[in-house]
Structure 1
Amino acid sequence: MSSQGGKQGGSKYQPLLDALHQSDRTHVTLTFAEIEALLGGALPPSARSKRGWWSNRSKGALQATAWMSAGYLVDTIDLESEQVTFTKPPAVYRVQCINDTLQWNSELIRALRLHMGLNQSAMAKELGVRQQTVSEWEKGVYTPTRASSKHLTLVAEKAAFRYEVY
């Protein structure tokens, strides 16, 4: 059975969408077996071997459409233990502004990257920095320079990332 069927809202991932939509939790962790029980069938082999299958992309992936339509993003994926954690992001993030520069912290940078459906390498390419830099920002090891913060702000605006300044 192909997961690329064209039935809008009726894909094989509809039960996952329904289950997440009914949840009132901010974080939902499911095992692959629990997802398969919801779906009434097996996940494709790529779900068990490729992290990219779980990426938050808005085009060409019925599985991502399911969790994103329910208001969730994949937050963490553990292929070894076959578990995935879905997180419901806030509708609007709060960002501090000092001297006309938004203060991008680890949580906001990660949220922007997830909002854009990118892994750290792709985010680094988008920003013109190394993947390790994005990783260090997300871990809170370093904070972006003023120039990088301004670039992050431009990228966020282009990506329709919702935030309010406080």
Structure 2
Amino acid sequence: MKPDSKYQPLWAFLQQSNQDEVILTFAEIEELMNDTLPDSARKKRAWWSNRSKGALQASAWMEAGYRVEDVDFEQQRVTFRQPTAKLKVQRVGDTVLWNAELIKALRRHMGLTQAEFAQRMGVRQKTVSNWEIGLYEPPLSTSKHLELVAQLAGFRYEEGSENSE
């Protein structure tokens, strides 16, 4: 989230909320932002869509690890919810071993295409595709990078009991 974005305070609020679901009125969002929402936010559901391109407002909640679950225009409130992933997590020491399911869930959580995710990871799109179909798994060094990316994206997963030590 860009620090100079007018939606940065919304991102910060959601990032610190530690709740699976957050309901905010339009007025509360405006108070956080110290600015008014555009008219389209009050009238058009599309403004609240969970899209990764061209929408600074969506970046705010998505980068904080939330999705807009519901918009009630009559009550002027929005329900943000954290998607909870129940994924098997294996570790070697402190490092998560990223498998196909976990990588795909992270990429989708971030709202990115395989090509966009590959660019963020510094790999080719084909590499991400191969990870996601389980052709091969990323090396430990990349797993550490994936874990950092996941933390920054607010990606949470339920820890499995499997351990590969």
TM-score by length of 2: 0.52
1:46 aligns with 2:40: yes
Any runs of at least 4 consecutive aligned residues in structure 1 with deviations exceeding 2 A, and if so which? Answer: 7-10, 91-94, 114-117
Sequence identity percentage: 59
Deviations 1:109-131 (A, max 9, x none): xxxxx9697xxxxxxxxxxxxxx
CA, structure 1 residues 24+84, in 2 after alignment: closer, same or farther (shift >3 Å)?
A: same
User: In the alignment, which residue of structure 2 is the partner of 1:57?
Assistant: 51
Of 74, 87, 95, which aligns to 1:80? 74
Structure 1 letter corresponding to 2:59: T
Match for residue 10 of structure 1?
4
Structure 1 unaligned runs (5+)?
A: 1-6, 95-113, 118-156
Counterpart residue number, 2:20:
26
Structure 2 residue aligned with 1:136: none
Distance 1:115 1:55 in 2: 14
- Match of 1:28, SS? strand
Closer/same/farther in 2, CA of residues 18 and 116 from structure 1, 3 Å limit: closer
Q: What is the CA distance between 1:80 and its match in structure 2?
A: 1.2
Q: 1:79 and 1:58 mapped to 2: Cα distance?
A: 23
Gaps of 5+ in 2: 89-107, 112-131, 134-156, 158-165
Letter of the structure 1 residue corresponding to residue 43 of structure 2: S
Question: What is the one-letter code of the residue matched to 2:80?
Answer: F
Q: Report the RMSD for the aligned CA atoms in angstroms.
A: 2.9
Q: CA deviation at 1:47?
A: 0.1
Count matched residues. Answer: 98
Q: Counterparts of 2:50 and 2:77 in 1: how far apart (Å)?
A: 16
Which of 31, 35, 40 pairs up with 2:29?
35
Q: Are residue 69 (structure 1) and residue 63 (structure 2) matched?
A: yes
Partner of residue 84, structure 2: 90
CA distance in 2, matches of 1:64, 1:9: 15
Deviations 1:97-155 (A, max 9, x none): xxxxxxxxxxxxxxxxx9697xxxxxxxxxxxxxxxxxxxxxxxxxxxxxxxxxxxxxx
Question: What is the SS of the residue equivalent to 1:48?
Answer: helix
Higher RCO (C-alpha 8 Å, min separation 6): 2
Q: Distance in 2 between matches of 1:83 and 1:8?
A: 25
